[in-house]
């Protein structure tokens, strides 16, 4: 065993033990069919535990509590989280990754001092990037910010802000120059969600769950001191935000999917691991093989990241693959469980993508084929950047 | 092992040796149909030590792990090779695992002068003992490369599974070529009509034979998975080139988003099956838990991707892809044959299901 392997093995044991001792055994039942308040208080509780154990912030810079973990140890945490079937920390995900990573790279000392400790204490962040007419074509965003003394006056509409209805702060992209190419006129602001002029509404998804919000901004005053980086330099900063996960999310989700395979067999009425129906059995084999392929490909990508290499288009390939395999998995579970899954049943909040409520899981899988760069956008990226096919003409 | 061959170096040198498109089609079959597509290339392959690359050094091989050999399966798949390389290496590997007493034969097989073919396939061969002799009867259908073999390693049923070595020609043993749609490979029906062999030629029996056959079946699955990956890669690259040149409506057809997205899907599937297969080759090399299922899964996935890639290649080439003259159909037909060697995909899924489903509850 090399020194690295020994270090990782020791760390894995430590993390495994922690999760074993701390993941509430009955949390899935406890978070099924509950209201917002129960969800929020459980997420707060889980966040406190993870922060105290240093397991919420391994990706933060050295010097911060829990921070400075090398990527291979972050991978161990993600894997063990999946193995332990730990609750997903969805209320704080944007805070811990998008907000924290962007602040650490681009924030000034005052901004870092104001927000990073607050995030550890549970400050909730959301992302104000997408707009009704700026989805896949994010850079065409139109929310306007006019400089007025030491404030920006912001008007516009944002949509698909994860946990936006609960957020204390928002990573906001605004247009500050309409006369230049679209990417060159965007500024990155930090918006206090208590500011007057913000109206937010939860968006009810096709699952019935409400994980996102839309925001209407009317003459919202944001101090210039809350600008991240220079005016009109926001597009580049936004790339940091969008790349803040470094493959860890897809790794964790692939592991969770893999560990949920038994649910599909249950849906097929497996007896002692035997599925009697030829068609279903063979389709389950196909999906399981693709799950293993996904994990192999994610593993390759993570190994490259650990070695400090560029992954390029591999991230798009992995995302497209995950989205498709998740769809296949949930659609097959839905089919196999037949009428049973057509009857309404309560769903689990923060339970990830494989809850065993097959209609919910199937509907929820569309999140992955649409959000974070739709399958179609990923296919553009793969065909143009990986395969070198001619580019689309973009406005 | 004293040294480890670097896979990319081996790949580069393999490409230099194999890069001849002309050898993609076997010449039209002459009487009996048994062909050596390119005996000179076979000689080169033997001289480079490829046949014994994974044979232990004490047996005269290069003692490399299986995944090094797998690189060659990929490269031979890339050029649609007609060389009986996978059959010869699987047969030799199985023979070595039998205990390898006849090291003269191992030497000859490494040198390319003998070819041992394992007659796993469709059908069983029964065996009965008569004194010091064992009598074989039965037919195994559609065995790749059997007509080129100097020796057959025959799975037999003599009350328990066993393996017998039969040198060719042998009284009562016929090896008959069957014409296939695939123009790049040859398959043969191997029939035993009360063929009498020395009982000493029954090399292993019982559990040892079963485990040896499992090992060889996994190696065949991985060889075909690698072949599929190499072939997919080659025809996909040629298809992309063509799409960049072919103009319709005043623009290259590669610029149409409807086609780009289909190419992206193919690339995704190719990457996924490549990654899965490489992991399976490592697991097989290192004797990791689950290597048998991993090998079968690789073949299932890489095989289905090869099928899809070659179907799309014909489609994207349009009219020219539908012609005999163009090479697209050679890849398509090779993909279709590979999927059904030694059983259908459905049978393979049924075989692998118990192991995969057990793992799902682990």
Whether residue A336 is contained in a domain is answered as yes
**Residue A209, SS3?**
coil
pLDDT one-digit tens code per residue, B3-24: 889 999 999 999 999 886 556 7
Nearest to residue A15, comparing CAs of A91, A78, A97? A78
- Domain with residue B96: its CATH number is 1.10.540.10
Examine the domain organization and report whether B194 and B222 are in the same domain: no
Tokens of A348: 């689990």
Q: Note the maximum CA span of chain B.
A: 79
Say yes or no: B248 contacts chain A, CB-CB below 8 A.
Answer: no
Q: What is the DSSP string of B43-83?
A: HHHHHTTGGGTTS-GGGTS----HHHHHHHHHHHHHTT--S
Integer angstrom CA distances of residue A196 from A155, A167, A218, A220:
12, 15, 8, 6
pLDDT one-digit tens code per residue, A292-344: 999 999 999 999 999 999 998 999 999 999 999 999 999 999 999 999 999 99
**Residue B249, SS3?**
coil
Alpha-carbon distance of A166 to A161, in angstroms, equals: 10
Whether residue A237 is contained in a domain is answered as no
Whether residue B111 is contained in a domain is answered as yes
Say yes or no: B267 contacts chain A, CB-CB below 8 A.
Answer: yes
User: Do the chains contact at B268 and A317, CB–CB below 8 Å?
Assistant: yes
Examine the domain organization and report whether B123 and B94 are in the same domain: no
Q: CB pairs under 8 A, 24+ apart, for A58-67?
A: A59/A96, A59/A97, A59/A101, A59/A246, A59/A248, A60/A100, A60/A104, A60/A116, A61/A104, A64/A116, A64/A120, A65/A120
**Contact status, residue A143 vs residue A157, Cβ threshold 8 Å:** yes
Examine the domain organization and report whether B22 and B48 are in the same domain: yes
B30 has a pLDDT exceeding 60: no
User: Do the chains contact at A284 and B255, CB–CB below 8 Å?
Assistant: no
Examine the domain organization and report whether B185 and B310 are in the same domain: no
Q: In chain A, whose CA is at the least distance from the CA of B261?
A: A379
Whether residue B1 is contained in a domain is answered as no
Residues 49-78 of B with CB under 8 A from A: none
Examine the domain organization and report whether A186 and A253 are in the same domain: no
**Contact status, residue A157 vs residue A198, Cβ threshold 8 Å:** no
Tokens of A59: 């990706």
Mean pLDDT of B176-205: 95
User: Do the chains contact at B301 and A293, CB–CB below 8 Å?
Assistant: yes
Tokens of B28: 């039209």
Examine the domain organization and report whether A296 and A357 are in the same domain: yes
Whether residue A150 is contained in a domain is answered as yes
* Final residue of a structural domain among A190, A208, A232: A232
* Final residue of a structural domain among A89, A112, A140: A89
Give the model's pLDDT for residue B259. 98
Examine the domain organization and report whether A62 and A175 are in the same domain: no
Give the model's pLDDT for residue A118. 98
Q: What is the span of the domain harbouring residue B146?
A: 118-205
Whether residue A162 is contained in a domain is answered as yes
- Domain with residue A308: its CATH number is 1.20.140.10
Whether residue A109 is contained in a domain is answered as no
Examine the domain organization and report whether B340 and B228 are in the same domain: yes
- Tell me which residue in A270, A282, A383 faces B261 most closely, judged by beta carbons: A383
Q: In chain A, whose CA is at the least distance from the CA of B271?
A: A297
Examine the domain organization and report whether A72 and A201 are in the same domain: no
Give the model's pLDDT for residue B184. 92
* Length of chain B counted residue by residue: 362
For tokens 């040294």, the residue is: B3
To probe the interface with B, which of A387, A388, A391, A392 has the most B CB atoms within 10 Å? A387
Examine the domain organization and report whether B191 and B91 are in the same domain: no
**Residue A311, SS3?**
coil
Tokens of A198: 């913000």
Tokens of B113: 């002068």
Examine the domain organization and report whether B55 and B173 are in the same domain: no
Burial of B25 from C-beta contacts in 10 A (0-12 / 13-18 / 19+): middle
**Contact status, residue B175 vs residue B188, Cβ threshold 8 Å:** yes
Q: Which positions of A are catalytic?
A: 245
Mean pLDDT of B232-258: 97
Examine the domain organization and report whether B225 and B332 are in the same domain: yes
Tokens of A388: 């070198």
Q: In chain B, whose CA is at the least distance from the CA of A377?
A: B261
Whether residue A17 is contained in a domain is answered as yes
**Residues of A whose CB is below 8 A from B228:** none
Cα angle: A158, vertex A161, A162; to 5 degrees: 175
As for how many domains chain A has, the answer is 3
Cα angle: A190, vertex A194, A199; to 5 degrees: 95
Say yes or no: B272 contacts chain A, CB-CB below 8 A.
Answer: yes
* Final residue of a structural domain among B63, B80, B115: B115
B330 has a pLDDT exceeding 90: yes
Average per-residue pLDDT in chain B? 93
pLDDT one-digit tens code per residue, A33-55: 999 999 999 999 999 999 999 99
Cα angle: B173, vertex B176, B177; to 5 degrees: 155
Torsion, Cα B331 B334 B338 B344, to 10 degrees, reads 100
User: Do the chains contact at A293 and B354, CB–CB below 8 Å?
Assistant: no
**A297 CA to chain B: closest CA distance, Å?**
6
pTM, to two decimals: 0.95
User: Do the chains contact at A286 and B346, CB–CB below 8 Å?
Assistant: no
Average per-residue pLDDT in chain A? 96
Upper half-sphere CA count for residue B236 (Cβ side, 13 Å): 27
* Final residue of a structural domain among A176, A203, A232: A232
Examine the domain organization and report whether A191 and A266 are in the same domain: no
Q: In chain A, whose CA is at the least distance from the CA of B273?
A: A293
**Contact status, residue B92 vs residue B53, Cβ threshold 8 Å:** no
* Residues 6+ away with beta carbon under 8 Å from B139: B123, B125, B189, B190, B191, B192
Cα angle: B256, vertex B257, B260; to 5 degrees: 90
As for how many domains chain B has, the answer is 3
Nearest to residue B144, comparing CAs of B180, B95, B98? B180
* Final residue of a structural domain among B86, B115, B144: B115
Upper half-sphere CA count for residue A311 (Cβ side, 13 Å): 21
User: Do the chains contact at A274 and B260, CB–CB below 8 Å?
Assistant: no
Mean pLDDT of A166-185: 97
**Residues of B whose CB is below 8 A from A273:** 354, 357-358, 360-361
Mean pLDDT of B276-283: 98
Alpha-carbon distance of A61 to A107, in angstroms, equals: 13
Examine the domain organization and report whether B240 and B263 are in the same domain: yes
The dihedral through the CA atoms of B9, B10, B13, B16 has a sign that is: negative
**Residues of A whose CB is below 8 A from B267:** 317, 382-383, 386-387
Q: What is chain A's Cα-based Rg?
A: 22
- Domain with residue A147: its CATH number is 2.40.110.10
Examine the domain organization and report whether A172 and A272 are in the same domain: no
Whether residue A334 is contained in a domain is answered as yes
Say yes or no: B126 contacts chain A, CB-CB below 8 A.
Answer: no
User: Do the chains contact at B272 and A376, CB–CB below 8 Å?
Assistant: no
- Asked if the peptide bond before residue B169 counts as cis, ω within 30 degrees of 0, the response is yes
User: B153 has which bridge partners?
Assistant: B118, B165
**A329 CA to chain B: closest CA distance, Å?**
13
Alpha-carbon distance of B336 to B181, in angstroms, equals: 9
Tokens of A122: 């549970």
A387 has a pLDDT exceeding 90: yes
Tokens of A240: 């940091």
Whether residue B221 is contained in a domain is answered as yes
Q: In chain A, whose CA is at the least distance from the CA of B241?
A: A389
User: Do the chains contact at A282 and B268, CB–CB below 8 Å?
Assistant: no
**Contact status, residue B9 vs residue B72, Cβ threshold 8 Å:** no
**Residues of A whose CB is below 8 A from B272:** 290, 293-294, 296-297, 317, 321
Upper half-sphere CA count for residue A289 (Cβ side, 13 Å): 30
| pLDDT grade for A1, boundaries at 50, 70 and 90 | confident
For tokens 């339970």, the residue is: A351
Whether residue A102 is contained in a domain is answered as no
Mean pLDDT of B37-44: 86
Examine the domain organization and report whether B217 and B352 are in the same domain: yes
User: B202 has which bridge partners?
Assistant: B164
User: Do the chains contact at A262 and B361, CB–CB below 8 Å?
Assistant: yes
- Domain with residue B315: its CATH number is 1.20.140.10
Examine the domain organization and report whether A201 and A128 are in the same domain: yes
Examine the domain organization and report whether B63 and B110 are in the same domain: yes
For tokens 């208590």, the residue is: A194
User: Do the chains contact at B349 and A379, CB–CB below 8 Å?
Assistant: no
**Residue A159, SS3?**
strand
- Out of A252-266, B120-134, B256-270, which region has the weakest mean confidence (pLDDT)? B120-134
Whether residue B286 is contained in a domain is answered as yes
B29 has a pLDDT exceeding 70: no
Examine the domain organization and report whether A153 and A26 are in the same domain: no
Mean pLDDT of A182-195: 98
Alpha-carbon distance of A55 to A78, in angstroms, equals: 9
Examine the domain organization and report whether A65 and A149 are in the same domain: no
Nearest to residue A153, comparing CAs of A214, A223, A200, A235? A223
Q: In chain B, whose CA is at the least distance from the CA of A313?
A: B268
- Tell me which residue in A265, A292, A380 faces B357 most closely, judged by beta carbons: A265
Give the model's pLDDT for residue B34. 60
**Contact status, residue A152 vs residue A131, Cβ threshold 8 Å:** no
A140 has a pLDDT exceeding 70: yes
User: Do the chains contact at A296 and B358, CB–CB below 8 Å?
Assistant: no
**Residues of A whose CB is below 8 A from B254:** 389-390
**Residue A142, SS3?**
coil
Alpha-carbon distance of A302 to B302, in angstroms, equals: 22
**A122 CA to chain B: closest CA distance, Å?**
36
User: Do the chains contact at B264 and A265, CB–CB below 8 Å?
Assistant: no
Q: Specify whether the backbone of A147 is left (phi greater than 0), alpha (psi in -120 to 50) or beta.
A: beta
User: Do the chains contact at B360 and A382, CB–CB below 8 Å?
Assistant: no
Pairing of strands B125-130, B151-157: parallel
* Residues 6+ away with beta carbon under 8 Å from A120: A51, A57, A64, A65
Say yes or no: B239 contacts chain A, CB-CB below 8 A.
Answer: no
Kindly report the number of other CB atoms within 10 A of residue B115's CB atom: 23
**Residue A192, SS3?**
strand
Examine the domain organization and report whether A160 and A227 are in the same domain: yes
pLDDT above 90: percentage of residues in chain A: 95
- Tell me which residue in B244, B278, B360 faces A262 most closely, judged by beta carbons: B360
Mean pLDDT of B243-248: 97
Q: What is the span of the domain harbouring residue A222?
A: 122-232
Cα angle: A165, vertex A168, A173; to 5 degrees: 85
Tokens of A113: 């001092």
- Domain with residue B200: its CATH number is 2.40.110.10
pLDDT one-digit tens code per residue, B98-155: 986 558 999 999 999 999 999 988 888 999 998 899 999 999 999 999 999 999 999 9
Examine the domain organization and report whether A228 and A253 are in the same domain: no
Cα angle: A261, vertex A263, A266; to 5 degrees: 120
Kindly report the number of other CB atoms within 10 A of residue B116's CB atom: 25
Alpha-carbon distance of B11 to B74, in angstroms, equals: 9
Examine the domain organization and report whether B130 and B196 are in the same domain: yes
User: A152 has which bridge partners?
Assistant: A147, A222
**Residues of A whose CB is below 8 A from B265:** 320, 379
* Residues 6+ away with beta carbon under 8 Å from B235: B309, B310, B313, B327, B328, B331
Kindly report the number of other CB atoms within 10 A of residue B216's CB atom: 21
* Final residue of a structural domain among B158, B184, B205: B205
A395 has a pLDDT exceeding 70: no
Examine the domain organization and report whether A300 and A364 are in the same domain: yes
Alpha-carbon distance of A363 to A205, in angstroms, equals: 9
Q: In chain B, whose CA is at the least distance from the CA of A276?
A: B350
């Amino acid at each position: 065993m090399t020194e690295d392997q020994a270090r990782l093995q020791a760390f894995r044991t430590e993390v495994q033990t922690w999760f074993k001792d701390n993941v509430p055994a009955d949390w899935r039942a406890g978070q099924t069919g509950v209201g917002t308040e129960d969800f929020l208080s459980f997420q707060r509780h889980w966040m406190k535990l993870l922060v105290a154990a240093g397991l919420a912030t391994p990706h933060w810079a050295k010097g911060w509590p829990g921070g400075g973990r090398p990527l291979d140890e972050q991978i161990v945490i993600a894997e063990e989280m999946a193995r332990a079937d730990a609750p997903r920390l969805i209320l704080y995900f944007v805070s811990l990754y998008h907000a924290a990573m962007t602040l650490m790279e681009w924030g000034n000392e005052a901004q870092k001092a104001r927000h990073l400790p607050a995030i550890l204490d549970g400050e909730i962040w959301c992302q104000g990037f997408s707009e009704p007419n700026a989805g896949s074509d994010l850079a065409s965003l139109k929310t306007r910010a006019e400089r007025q003394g030491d404030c920006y006056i912001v008007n516009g509409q944002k949509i698909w802000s994860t946990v936006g209805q609960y957020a204390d702060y928002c990573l906001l992209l605004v247009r500050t120059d309409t006369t230049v190419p679209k990417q060159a006129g965007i500024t990155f602001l930090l918006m206090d969600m208590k500011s007057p002029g913000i109206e937010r509404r939860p968006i009810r998804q096709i699952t019935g769950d409400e994980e996102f919000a839309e925001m209407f901004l009317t003459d919202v005053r944001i101090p210039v001191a809350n600008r991240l980086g220079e005016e009109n330099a926001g597009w580049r900063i936004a790339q940091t935000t969008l790349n803040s996960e470094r493959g860890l999310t897809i790794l964790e989700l692939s592991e969770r999917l893999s560990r949920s395979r038994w649910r599909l067999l249950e849906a097929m009425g497996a007896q002692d691991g035997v599925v009697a129906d030829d068609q279903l059995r063979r389709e389950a084999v196909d999906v399981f093989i693709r799950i293993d392929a996904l994990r192999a490909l994610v593993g390759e990508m993570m190994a490259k990241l650990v070695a400090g290499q560029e992954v390029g288009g591999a991230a798009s390939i992995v995302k497209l693959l995950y989205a498709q395999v998740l769809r296949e998995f949930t659609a097959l579970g839905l089919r196999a469980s037949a009428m049973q899954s057509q009857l309404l049943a309560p769903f689990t909040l923060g339970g990830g993508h494989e809850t065993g409520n097959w209609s919910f899981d199937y509907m929820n899988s569309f999140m992955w084929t649409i959000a974070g760069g739709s399958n179609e956008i990923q296919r553009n990226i793969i065909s143009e950047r990986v395969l070198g096919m001619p580019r689309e003409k973009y406005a | 092992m004293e040294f480890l061959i670097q896979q990319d170096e081996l790949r580069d040198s393999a490409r230099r040796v194999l890069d001849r498109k002309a050898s993609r089609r076997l010449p039209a079959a002459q009487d009996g149909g048994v062909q050596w597509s390119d005996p000179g290339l076979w000689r080169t392959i033997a001289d480079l030590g490829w046949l014994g690359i994974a044979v232990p050094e004490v047996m005269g091989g290069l003692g490399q792990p299986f995944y090094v050999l797998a690189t060659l399966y990929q490269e031979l798949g890339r050029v649609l090779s007609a060389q009986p390389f996978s059959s010869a290496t699987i047969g030799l590997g199985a023979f070595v695992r039998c205990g390898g007493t006849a090291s003269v034969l191992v030497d000859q097989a490494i040198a390319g002068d003998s070819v041992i073919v394992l007659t796993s396939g469709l059908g069983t061969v029964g065996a009965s003992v008569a004194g010091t002799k064992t009598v074989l009867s039965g037919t195994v259908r559609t065995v790749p490369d059997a007509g080129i073999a100097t020796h057959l390693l025959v799975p037999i049923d003599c009350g328990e599974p066993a393996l017998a070595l039969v040198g060719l020609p042998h009284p009562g043993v016929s090896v008959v070529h069957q014409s296939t749609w695939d123009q790049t490979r040859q398959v043969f029906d191997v029939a035993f009509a009360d063929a009498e062999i020395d009982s000493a030629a029954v090399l292993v029996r019982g559990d040892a034979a079963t485990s040896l056959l499992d090992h060889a079946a996994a190696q065949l699955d991985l060889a075909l998975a690698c072949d599929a990956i190499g072939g997919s890669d080659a025809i996909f690259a040629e298809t992309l080139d063509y799409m960049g040149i072919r103009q319709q409506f005043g623009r290259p057809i590669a610029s149409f988003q409807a086609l780009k997205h289909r190419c992206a899907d193919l690339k995704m599937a190719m990457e996924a099956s490549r990654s899965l297969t490489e992991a399976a080759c490592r697991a097989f090399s290192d004797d990791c838990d689950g290597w048998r299922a991993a090998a079968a899964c690789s073949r299932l996935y890489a095989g289905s991707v090869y099928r899809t890639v070659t179907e799309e290649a014909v489609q994207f080439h349009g009219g020219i892809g539908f012609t005999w003259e163009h090479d697209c159909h050679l890849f398509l037909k090779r993909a279709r044959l590979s999927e059904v060697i030694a059983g259908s995909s459905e049978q393979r899924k049924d075989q692998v299901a118990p192991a995969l489903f057990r793992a799902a509850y682990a």
